[in-house]
Structure 1
């Protein structure tokens, strides 16, 4: 689905091809019937005008009955066409739209949320392979609005093509049937009027279609710009709602408002330009339609009518047929705004599809913008986790390593505390081991058959039930409520056990209701329930006070006896149990871009004392504040 046509036909060649083709065939049949009904309506219009013209003719023995019959027939045909054929076709086309959009939405969600962490790679790194120099913006808008607009526009476009084809057949057939000799074109014989009709249509429609294409190109560019501007504004509003507390605490409303004003100004300016182009196109389309229906359509039959070669009924019927033919052949002009939007939407969707495809092999993708030579393997679980010759870098082929680690081994059941100044690369190291750091080189060998768990400082909770939140990433049916309740009780969340099946409480989602410390206790409950063999704690206790941090460590120590722990914390030294026992067996120190690991018991007393002191900085001296225990909500 990396190209426009690949995206258009994918659904029809998928595992749901029967559904796609079945709906398409019904729509095609109804389109053909609608075109045939246009011929019937043209004939009925001719009969109605003829009955009006000869209402007072002495030879007309039942003028009123003839008039009412003609009018009733035309009205019946209008109802059959508009309600029976076009209305039912609309129902089937909107069903096809819904089905196609749902299938595409599912494919993109599955591609973004695969085991490759595609959603992460797509939005956090440069899209060099795409040539855009940046990741695709506003992925949510692309997956929802762009797919919806693209599928709807494509179906409308396809129905227009079907309408042209069927109209050319049925209307052309009728024009041939009523064709007559045209003075001045006698060499064409009885096909003079039909040739003249097709010539007029061929001259009028393409010229105006060219004008419509030029205006459509402007609308397409403005539509893309409008989508980008609105997506950026909506994205900033979404981010604001997530960080509203921080904005309020820093009194940053004025800055945030200025940012919103700037983003909306871009929307307003683009919208103004788009409105001008749309207004001009609307005027062009109205004038085009009037000239087509009132002048061009009645022109070809006027000459034979003036020379008495056809009667009024034949003249009106022919004019209505030509008008119907122009109307069907003008679908491109009529739907040009929709086509412009379709092309804009399809470009947004295909760009996202290309970005997803490009990151399916992350090492090769990142190698285009920097050095990415990580290798991942596995070994017997008895040997634990091994890291060899690891170098972490930033983007750029000439970038130098900011962190180098020669060889590390984390034994089964070993607890390692990662120490170092802020910004030294502690979190980057944990990300690299988990395959979430793009640039650098080295080998990471995981223990076979061991489940790993990565707990971060910032906990975001999806709007699902409390049981699902504790069971993540497992399916909630995998674990009984009793086991989940035990894990929650041990983690300090026993007050919420009776709400395991609830997605909300007191009108709030769990992400809104739980405090930062409670969210980190929920992570502890996940660890106890899932029993990982390899645990990464990246500031996972930052929102807890000292007593709660000790309890966090103790409950894992007591209930996960064989777990290997690698922990990053703000503190210079790891916490100890309430009885003074060490939780951690070793310290991985990072200083001057070098990481080295030593057993905690082997550290000299002087170094242990030094590490326990506040870390020096090159700027302001560290400020000391009394520790205040966080009050849980």
Structure 2
């Protein structure tokens, strides 16, 4: 970008020479704005948002190209064949100004937060396959190219709409003057010249923009879900007490809404940026029309002329509307954030009811559940009426403003029309220009609701980012690798997440091929000890040395069964398709689930479909497939009867002969399946510590 900044600076110097040589003072203004564009282009080369750098690079290039056209025209060397498309100096000045505005926007606090998220995609090191052509290109370069192309096509659409407005002026003037040839030429020749390319550009824009959206969403979805799942970060967030509410909603709903407003309309960072650029381009183009139209307006009967009269009227009218809208709707962003929170909590409660349907029915808990749902829905209702009140006030003001906006320019121009100072075509063009300028200046009125929603989406994603960062201690847990085959715990003490001590410092060696049973009262730290051995518990001190290359697998009391096919549930944590059907059928038969062998391809919610004992046996089947070196069973057979539990341990011993089994349990019958017994004994200070116990029945 520094080279581009040098090119823009050289053009600025050349524009000064052209201004001096041609005597066109406006070219000096172009030179000044070009110099500012060169400065911000140079400054944006480092420590600036990538998204903003793309826009600045595009506008700086436009400044040189369009500015060169202006300079050629000022020197009187513009080709006669292109006389109808001479570039106004105001257009070149505007794109130079866009460079400055884009740079300033990068340092507005709310914009910086949005750009921090957007930039991740435009900095990605990945590649993408080009549709139809087949070869691969850099993802970030393709994304930057698509963004610049979409900005350019929107500017082209503004150019075509402006020219359609001039065709409308010709059409109405021909009607007023009774000139049929001019009328039909405008309808059959001039109008299609601009309308057809305009419609084609809309089609191209739709395809390119939606391709950009889905690639952008795919990247951000992978970014958020990857960081949430990476190295147990979702678990670390829960332990640290910073778990954001409804992370599934943040990823599934807020990511697309952040980009382009989502499937149901709205405003995202792309829509906002492109619409704002288009509106500013329209503002410049139609302001020129209003300013030019004001030149022949002299107040009837006075001879008084006010430069830019129509433009100043449009500006004053828009400022009135913007101020009123911002004053009335200032609470919408906060209310929108709260609405998403209440709706998500209510939806989560419904999902939990479905998940635990059997338990609720057995406990006759429907009345309580109805009360919980009603209580949560009351929050939705209160928030809803708060939003309704604000939106009702805002709607009345916006509709009033919109209804009178069609008559204000008509009332202003009527005296000039009756005095025959303007023609019907001039009046029509001026009305359109007034409407477009007013639309551009009232951009924030039109999109105020959407901007409020966008701010709430941005707030949810940034708080999710903050939670992901705050929940990072788990990845820091790492076990030194020892050349022995044993787990060696030296000076280990374990704490609760709030810092309260749980287990006093202790030393322990878990020897390979020596099965161990861990017993003790509830809350004594048995499960926490397993988590420390597995490397997912970050709270405490000491050293846990793991055997080199050891594969450790933990089976909890309530196993996790992903929604999907039974084959996928059995294979987990390996992906579906890792094991062939014959292997899956064999392992299900080994754990006594032969009745499920014909349901491997069935897609269902297996947590609800299977009993507790069946779920635990399915988890044992996973362990058999995984062939771990160390199998930690955290009451993983508690839902089985004594006989089935005995047969399950015999199956583990037969099919996992090289695995060391460490179990947490309370049944005395399990002592026979283990070589050692550890008991979590209380100490004088109310903590616990593991101690060797004579091999007797567990308590």
Change (3 A) 1:477 1:315: closer
Counterpart CA distance in 1 for 2:392 and 2:204 is 31
Q: Quick check: 1:487 aligned with 2:590?
A: no
Q: Deviations over 1:155-214 (max 9, x none)?
A: 2212221212321343344445555244379xx999x55x22332233222332233233
Q: What's the counterpart of residue 548 of structure 1?
A: 644
Alpha-carbon distance in structure 2 between the residues aligned to 1:70 and 1:476:
64
Report whether the alignment pairs 1:6 with 2:116.
yes
Change (3 A) 1:215 1:156: farther
Alpha carbons of structure 1 residues 411 and 458: separation in structure 2 relative to 1, 3 Å: same
**What CA distance in whole angstroms lies between the structure 2 residues aligned with 1:233 and 1:422?**
33
State the 1:591 CA deviation: 2.2
Q: Decide whether the 8 Å contact of 1:390 with 1:441 is kept in 2.
A: yes
1:236 aligns with 2:349: yes
Equivalent position to 1:510, from 606, 617, 621:
606
Q: Tell me if 1:198 matches 2:276.
A: no
What's the CA shift string for 1:292-316, capped at 9, x where partnerless?
A: 33214763x5676566544332233
How much does 1:31 deviate?
Answer: 1.6
Q: Structure 1 residue 467: deviation in Å?
A: 3.0
For residues 261 and 466 of structure 1, what CA distance do their matches in structure 2 show? 35
1-structure distance, mates of 2:196, 2:388: 37
Out of 627, 632, 635, the position equivalent to 1:539 is 635
Could you tell me which of 371, 378, 389 is aligned with 2:491? 389
Per the alignment, in what secondary structure is the counterpart of residue 513 of structure 2? coil
Counterpart secondary structure, 1:183: coil
> In the aligned structure 2, how far is the partner of 1:584 from the partner of 1:297?
93
The counterpart of 1:360, out of the listed 443, 466, 472, is 472
Once residues 173 and 559 of structure 1 are traced to their aligned partners in structure 2, the CA distance between those partners, rounded to angstroms, is 84
Deviates more, 1:81-90 or 1:514-523: 81-90
Unaligned ranges ≥5, structure 2: 1-48, 50-111, 127-138, 261-266
Task: Please state how far the C-alpha of 1:69 moved relative to its aligned partner.
Answer: 5.9
CA separation of 1:321/1:214 partners in 2, compared to 1, >3 Å: closer, same or farther? Answer: same
Q: What SS does structure 1 have at the residue aligned with 2:406?
A: helix
Cα distance between partner residues in 1 of 2:123 and 2:394 = 37
Q: Does 1:37 align with 2:139?
A: no
- Equivalent position of 2:131 in the other structure: none
Decide which of 561, 578, 588 is 2:657's aligned counterpart: 561
Task: Say if 1:45 and 1:74, in contact at 8 Å, map to a contact too.
Answer: no
CA 1:138/1:519 → structure 2, altered by over 3 Å: closer, same or farther? same
> Separation in 2 of the partners of 1:522 and 1:363?
29
More RCO (CA 8 Å, sep 6+)? 1
Secondary structure of the equivalent of 1:136? coil
Q: Is the CA contact (8 Å cut-off) linking 2:150 and 2:205 kept in structure 1?
A: yes
Q: Give, in angstroms, the shift of residue 433 of structure 1.
A: 2.5
SS in 2 for 1:402: strand
Q: 1:68: how far off?
A: 6.0
Show the 5 A alignment for 1:416-427. Answer: 416-427=516-527
The DSSP-based 3-state class of the residue aligned with 1:474 is: coil
- Tell me the residue number matched to 1:623: none
Whole-angstrom CA distance in 2 between matches of 1:396 and 1:302: 74
**Match of 1:583?**
673
| Stretch moving more, 99-108 or 463-472 | 463-472
Q: In the aligned structure 2, how far is the partner of 1:512 from the partner of 1:555?
A: 26
Aligned twin of 1:621: none
Taking the aligned partners of 2:663 and 2:639, their CA distance within structure 1 comes to 15
Question: Does the 8 A contact of 2:114 with 2:458 survive in 1?
Answer: yes
Q: Give the drift of 1:529.
A: 1.6
The equivalent of 1:227 in structure 2 is: 340
The alignment status of 1:106 with 2:219, answered yes or no, reads: no
Question: C-alpha displacement at 1:235, in angstroms?
Answer: 1.0
For residue 164 of structure 1, the aligned residue among 279, 284, 289 is 279
> Does the C-alpha gap of structure 1 residues 101 and 497 become closer, same or farther in structure 2, counting only changes over 3 Å?
same
TM-score by length of 1: 0.81
Residue 624 of structure 1 is matched in structure 2 by none
| Residue aligning to 2:146 | 23
Q: Is the 8 A contact 1:378 1:447 kept in 2?
A: yes
CA shift for structure 1 position 512: 3.4
Deviations 1:239-263 (A, max 9, x none): 1111111111110100000000000
Which residue in 2 is equivalent to 1:377? Answer: 480
SS in structure 2 opposite 1:274? helix
User: Residue 406 of structure 1 corresponds to which residue in structure 2?
Assistant: 506
Provide closer, same or farther for how the CA distance between residues 511 and 375 of structure 1 changes in structure 2, counting only shifts above 3 A: closer
Instruction: Give the drift of 1:350.
Output: 1.3
Whole-Å separation in 1 of the counterparts to 2:453 and 2:284: 30
Deviation at 1:523, TM superposition (A): 1.5
RMSD over aligned CA atoms reads 3.1
Q: What is the CA–CA distance in structure 1 between the aligned matches of 2:441 and 2:197, rounded to whole Å?
A: 18
- TM-superposed deviation, 1:340: 0.6
Contact kept, 8 Å, 1:37 with 1:77, in 2: the verdict is no
Structure-1 separation of matches of 2:586 and 2:334: 58
Question: For the structure 1 residues 61 and 183, does the alpha-carbon distance in structure 2 shift closer, same or farther, using more than 3 Å as the test?
Answer: closer
3-state SS, counterpart of residue 691 of structure 2:
strand
Query: CA–CA distance in 1 between the matches of 2:593 and 2:599?
Result: 11
TM-score normalised by L of structure 2: 0.74
CA contact (8 A) 2:567 2:584 kept: yes
